[in-house]
Structure 1
Amino acid sequence: MDSHKVVSQEEWLAAHRAHLAEEKALTHARDALSRKRRELPWVKVDKAYTFDTAQGPQTLADLFEGRSQLIVYHFMMGPDWEEGCPGCSFLSDHVDGALVHLAQRDVAYVAVSRAPLEKINAFKKRMGWTFRWVSSFGSDFNYDYHVSFTPEQRAQRKLFYNFATIDSDMDELPGLSVFYKDEAGDIYHTYSSYGRGGEPLIGTYTWLDLTPKGRDETHGMMEWMRHHDRYDTQPAHHGADGGCH
């Protein structure tokens, strides 16, 4: 690390008081943005989706498990993949501890991938996770929510992702979607987020942002982060674009 400015206690306190004012402004701005998010319009989900789960085939309504709110994490793991995306795995390492608290606030959580359930279960067991993870293989769900892409779309390198057309030939990309189910059983799509939109769910980054070196990344998480069972057995991968595959 390069040498850093060292000052008296009085100068340190003055600088930190000024920084605290900016942090409070950011907190208030985040609160305001969250209120606006809750005010966004919804769209009714009329299409039927079926998922392969440990309890057998289930509908989107079943995934709510009796609650009115559902968070779906679009986990990158395609039908021919042998393991899940390292970046999605990094985020998912932070999920299990939140589940009991989400349940108390009328929120269900589930990860969804196009990989067959047997591959999902094998990787989930390897990672030691307990959150629900189901397969959308054979369903249009991933395509309709713009996280999986057909060979034709990939060949054209024109993918609709993160509410815009991007130049990419990826088969899977990450995201999360939120749904609400009313007392009549009608389901509404209330929100989706893609790309770095899931970053606030990664607690490790929040911790790193407190430290002098910060995230210490040049090209994103993929230059250092790996599946948590590989840190001692495999050197860090230096990626070019911070993406996942």
Structure 2
Amino acid sequence: MIEHDELLTETPISFGWKTTMANKLFFMIFSIVILALIILQFFLESIRIPFYPGINQNAVNFIFNYATAFYIYSTIHLGSLSIGLKFIEDKPVSLFSDLFVSIQTIVINFIATIFFTFIISVPIAIATAIAIYNTEALFLFLLAIIASFILALKYQFYPYVIVDLGVNPIQALKISSIITKNNKLEVFLLHLILVFVNIIGLLCFGIGLLFTIPISVLSCSYQYAQLRGVAIGKVDSYNEPLNAEGQV
């Protein structure tokens, strides 16, 4: 757990750039592994389970593809966060042991993702239900999309909280909402900047991604650590439920 939040005074992009440049070889290998996992997922999607009598092959293939995709995505996402947070804490980092997080962490994140998806889908679901009776509800749909986007920003740090603090899905979502309170624009702007950074990396014959991917991972992890320190302050544990003020 990050303890020295008062020391996080750099901008996220600055920290991401400096740390990546100071550890070029590590992050080049890191990016290659991430890209290899993505390619592996595309390969696995082409695999078809052999036909067995009495088994719905389409259902089995769907479950197989979804399970492998989620595991690989979780490994990339949660493992990257683990590595990013360790660099912020200035702790020793092992690429493979830190990248491949525990099954328990993946399961907790999976449950939290279900809750997260449900939460951000509610405005659009309500707008859809109203549109059934009112075909001129385009403006309502636009409001619903905006509301869902704001909710996504509000709760987006739940994977960071799970990796950092090891809390349950509900606590992770609650802590994320505390962290992003009054900071949603700042979070959105960083994501927007990183989109352009990675587009530039892609345009450099794709080679630039070897550096823009770790810069993105480190920048987002650093922003999480900064906002968490400002919103909650230094505490020893988040394993207790938080009250409305963000205190244990």
Q: Which has the higher contact order (CA 8 A, sep 6+)?
A: 2
TM-score (norm 2): 0.25
TM-score between both structures, scaled by the size of structure 1: 0.25
Higher helix share: 2
The structure carrying a bigger strand percent of its residues is: 1
